[in-house]
Amino acid sequence: MKLTKTFLIRKYWKEKLTTFEIATLCKVGQRTIMRYMEKFNISRRKYGHHLIIKNHPTKNVLFKKYIIERKTQQEIADDSKCSRITIRNYLVKYNIKIRKTSKGNKKTLKYQKILTKEFLEKEYIKKGKHLYQIAKEIRFSRTTVQSMAIKHKIPLRQDNRFASGDNNPSWNGGSSFAPYPLGWTKVLKEQIKYRDSHKCQICGVPEIECNRRLHVHHIDYDKMNINLDNLTSLCQSCHMKTNYNRNYWIEYLKIEGSL
């Protein structure tokens, strides 16, 4: 979906959607929407302005849906056409006690059915898989798998997520050991940081606020490709994130770089 000025004005000012809701609709990051709004000089509403305009549930409605009908925050948010965070904020505002995740989240019930003791013993003990490998196969987080293993009293071995060679899910044939090209210099890296205003291009934190200097990241993960369009500035934390879900980060950073 092409982000035009007319589209953003209609969604943000006429339909009163939040930047988060527009980002979800367009399947991009919220920061991308905000940058396009800056690019098109679209003024922003005051914080909380959309909460006054929209017909969000009252305390009685929230109490009925959340406490009596036992709906999740996301289900109420879908009914009210707003974000889950908005519903959570209203629950706090109305002093409605928030349930623990295990009571209200259907996903929790789902992984409790999948991550049984028999399943974990088969995959983790007999087949010798790492927790991360199991999590990736069933599309849950490694922490979730580990928590269920502890709950079932399954003895944990040292789960080396960064095992070498083919045992590592992120193994890319050893390209990280290849030398950089001659053009990969401090001058080039400083040029990229200056172009990016010395800010991380994912979280937006300035380099001066980081504990370490910004890293210069290869968007396509090819260290031999040092074209300016293929390089971007990232803080250490965000640079570590890009080691996983590489296809997602390639597309995300290409979109960010095109603004």
Position 233 scores a pLDDT of 93
72 & 47 share domain:
no
pTM for the structure as a whole: 0.37
192 & 233 share domain:
yes
61 & 47 share domain:
no
195 & 241 share domain:
yes
**Residues 87 and 80 sit within 8 Å (Cβ to Cβ):** yes
Position 163 scores a pLDDT of 52
Looking at the structure of the chain, the number of domains it has is 4
93 & 111 share domain:
no
230 & 252 share domain:
yes
Assigned domain for 25 exists: yes
- Residue 242: exposure state from Cβ atoms within 10 A (0-12, 13-18, ≥19): buried
Assigned domain for 164 exists: no
Position 84 scores a pLDDT of 79
Assigned domain for 132 exists: yes
66 & 121 share domain:
no
Average pLDDT per block of 10 residues along the chain, 259 residues long: 85 83 84 88 70 65 86 84 80 85 54 82 85 82 84 75 53 64 90 91 86 89 90 90 85 74
190 & 227 share domain:
yes
Position 53 scores a pLDDT of 42
Tokens matching residue 106: 């259907």
Which residue range is the domain that position 73 belongs to? 57-99
Assigned domain for 43 exists: yes
Assigned domain for 181 exists: no
